[in-house]
Amino acid sequence: MNIYTFSSLLLFLGVSFAQQLRYEPLRNRGRDEDASLWSQGTDTYVRAHGLSFEWLEVPTQDDVTIRVHHLWNPRVNGTMIPVLMAHSLLVSGDVFLLNKPEQSFAMILANNGYDVYIINFRGSSYSPLTRDEFVNSTLDDNIFKDFPATIDFVLQRTNQETLNIVAYSKGAYVSLGLLANKPEYNQKVRLLILMCPVTAITKPVALISSLMGVLEVAIKTFGIPLSDIVDSNFYFGIFRLPGVPRAIDLLGHLLPIGTRCVYNALLTGTIDCISPLNFDIDLIEKVFIRGVPDGVKTRELIQFTQNSRSEQFQSYSPSWYDRSLGNILGSVPEALAHVVYVRENLDNVEEYDLSAVTAPVAILQANHEVFSQPQDYRRIRNSLCSNIIGGRLNPDKYVFAVTDPNFAHTDPTVGTRSDEVYGNAFYMIMRENDLSLDSSQGDVLGYLDPDFSHLASQTCESSPAS
């Protein structure tokens, strides 16, 4: 045997061994204990399942403090690649930890060797804003202030040049907005995983269309006084009262038909009390203890609605507040100041061009949506088609729709069997990409058995962003 053959054999054995590196899987402790641990705080919950956890704080350029979850497996040896996770609308970063530990994508990533950071965008309960700071705070602040500051913080802290991003719903909006507007950040991204991405809802279902219409009329009529009421979020306090989460949980289990009716109406926009849910009803108590709903920000809702009305992925416009009855009648200083802001920024709307995004991408789509519709997903896929990666795990590009019936927008974080449906597969997609960039990560990243039987490949064609 010559030296070349011997070296090749050693390399093969080394790679084979690395591919079989496995960590002890996380185990669910049962519905009641899971909820009890969750009620004691996110840090207590994560540590109880054998992972390390700490809170971090990131200052932004406008002096807002962004709080970040940080979790990792203390049993991992070697340099861990950072992953930054970006949450959806009306929630905090806790949404990635709501599912049972073995099914939470964040905990799957951390347990198998990734260094996981979860941003809490401004206005969430972990990164609160004062009443004055809420005024004029939009999704653009997440795009241009919160997210780049957190990316740079994580890279500096870990002494890395690149990281992975997992962006869910609004998090995808923010990630794509940043990469489209600040091209230099594309070079800092190893892989961008988009879960149920939203940019503009071009033909919203009846429920969403009606809510958008009500919001537009209400803001154009009552302006800032109405925004102040909405932004206060005092009405969500009822869900946090002692005993209320447990009562909602018991009601959900006693009346499963009612649970299906409510969930399908809110998350698929249909009146359907028959179809089974992918939502795990054992999570109801956890959801209402902490996590959902976390807070409504009026101007974020306005920006999503404006995007959908224009069918463009674009910046926020304050035009809805111009000449509103609330502003005309109002005499408070912030109302007057806001009128000036509106007049100065009416024509400053910019479209965000997805063709400027060059970072590698993989995409997960829901199949029964209340937000992004098939044509919206198609537009996003086509705009990013040249960026979507492929590999040995699947014959086509890594862009998938879940095949399980009635898989809704929230199911990536609270769905049953999430590890089996998409979690293990997308972990292995990230792992495969990272091994292609640095083969030594085979000694750090665990191996999972990927299951693509719940995922249907989607096609894309390169085209200009629309």
Q: For residue 87, what is the domain's CATH number? A: 3.40.50.1820
User: Does residue 449 lie within any of the structural domains?
Assistant: yes
Please state the separation of Cα 146 from the chain's center in Å. Answer: 14
Q: Is 294 among the domain residues?
A: no
CA distances (Å), origin 415, targets 123, 167, 384: 26, 17, 27
For the chain, what is the domain count? 1
- Strand 52-59 vs strand 65-72: parallel, antiparallel, or unpaired? antiparallel
> 323 lies in a domain?
no
Position 345 scores a pLDDT of 52
Dihedral sign from CA coordinates of 161, 167, 170, 172? positive
- Across residues 409-432, what is the average pLDDT? 96
Look up residue 393 and give its amino acid.
Answer: L
Residue 288: both structure tokens together: 């209402």
289 falls within a domain = no
Q: Is residue 421 part of a domain?
A: yes
**Residue 338 — very low, low, confident or very high, per pLDDT cuts 50/70/90?**
low
User: Mean pLDDT over residues 356-361, rounded?
Assistant: 97
What pLDDT sits at residue 377? 96
Provide the pLDDT confidence category of residue 223 given band limits of 50, 70 and 90.
confident
- Smallest CA-to-CA distance from 20 within 454, 449, 461, 464 is with 449
Pairs from 393-398 (Cβ < 8 Å, separation ≥ 24): 393/425, 393/428, 393/429, 393/432, 393/450, 393/452, 394/452, 394/457, 395/457, 396/457, 396/459, 397/457, 397/460, 398/362, 398/363, 398/429
298-310 and 206-232 are packed helices; what angle lies between their axes, rounded to 10 degrees?
Answer: 150
What's the pTM value of the predicted model, to 2 decimals?
0.91
Per-residue confidence (pLDDT) for residue 184, from 0 to 100: 97
Q: How far apart (Å, rounded) are the C-alpha atoms in residues 367 and 381?
A: 15
The pLDDT confidence band at residue 266, using thresholds 50, 70 and 90, is confident
Residue, of 333 and 257, whose pLDDT is higher? 257
pLDDT for the residue numbered 136 = 73
| 465 confidence band (pLDDT: 50, 70, 90) | very low
Q: Which of 216-230, 288-302, 432-446, 452-466 has the lowest mean pLDDT?
A: 452-466
Is residue 453 one of the residues assigned to a domain? yes
The predicted pLDDT at position 442 comes to 95
CA 250, CA 259: separation in Å to the nearest integer? 11
**For strand 189-195 and strand 399-402, is the pairing parallel, antiparallel, or unpaired?**
unpaired
- pLDDT given for residue 61 in this prediction: 95
Q: Where in the sequence is the domain holding 431, given as residue range(s)?
A: 17-199+351-457
The span from the CA of 154 to the CA of 395, in Å, is 34
Residue 391 included in any domain: yes
Residue 67 maps to a domain: yes
**Token digits for 458?**
């989607």
pLDDT in tens, 90-133: 999 999 999 999 999 999 999 999 999 999 999 999 999 887 77
Alpha carbon distance 189, 170 (integer Å):
18
State mean pLDDT over 238-254: 90
Q: Give me the percent of the chain exceeding a pLDDT of 70.
A: 89
